Amino acid sequence: MHIPILQGRGFQETDTASSTPVVIVSETVARAWWKGKSPIGDRLVVGEYNGRQFPEVLEPPREVVGVVGDVKNLGLQETEPTTIYVPASQLFRPPNSTAWVVRASSNLALDAELRRALTALNPDQRVLHLQSMSDVVAREVAHPAFDALLMGIFAALALALTSVGIYGVLSFQVARRTQEIGIRMALGARRANVLFMVVRQGALLAAAGIAIGLAGALALSRFLSSLLYGVKPTDPLTFFGVSLILVAVALLASFIPARRATKVDPMVALRYE
pTM (two decimals)? 0.51
Three-state secondary structure string covering the chain: CCCCEEEECCCCCCCCCCCCCEEEEEHHHHHHHHCCCCCCCCEECCCEECCEECCCCCCCCEEEEEEECCCCCCCCCCCCCCCEECCHHHCCCCCCCCCCCCCCCCCCCHHHHHHHHHHHHCCCCCCCCCCCHHHHHHHHHHHHHHHHHHHHHHHHHHHHHHHHHHHHHHHHHHHCCHHHHHHHHHCCCCHHHHHHHHHHHHHHHHHHHHHHHHHHHHHHHHHHHHHCCCCCCCCHHHHHHHHHHHHHHHHHHHHHHHHHHHCCCHHHHHCCC
Specify the pLDDT at position 95.
66
Give the pLDDT confidence of 113-152 residue by residue, as tens digits: 888 888 888 888 777 777 777 777 788 777 777 877 888 8
Specify the pLDDT at position 67.
95
Specify the pLDDT at position 39.
93
Low-confidence residues in the chain, pLDDT < 70: 48-49, 51, 54-58, 76-77, 93-97, 106-108, 225-231, 264-273
Give the pLDDT confidence of 23-54 residue by residue, as tens digits: 999 999 999 889 889 999 999 888 766 767 76
Specify the pLDDT at position 40.
94
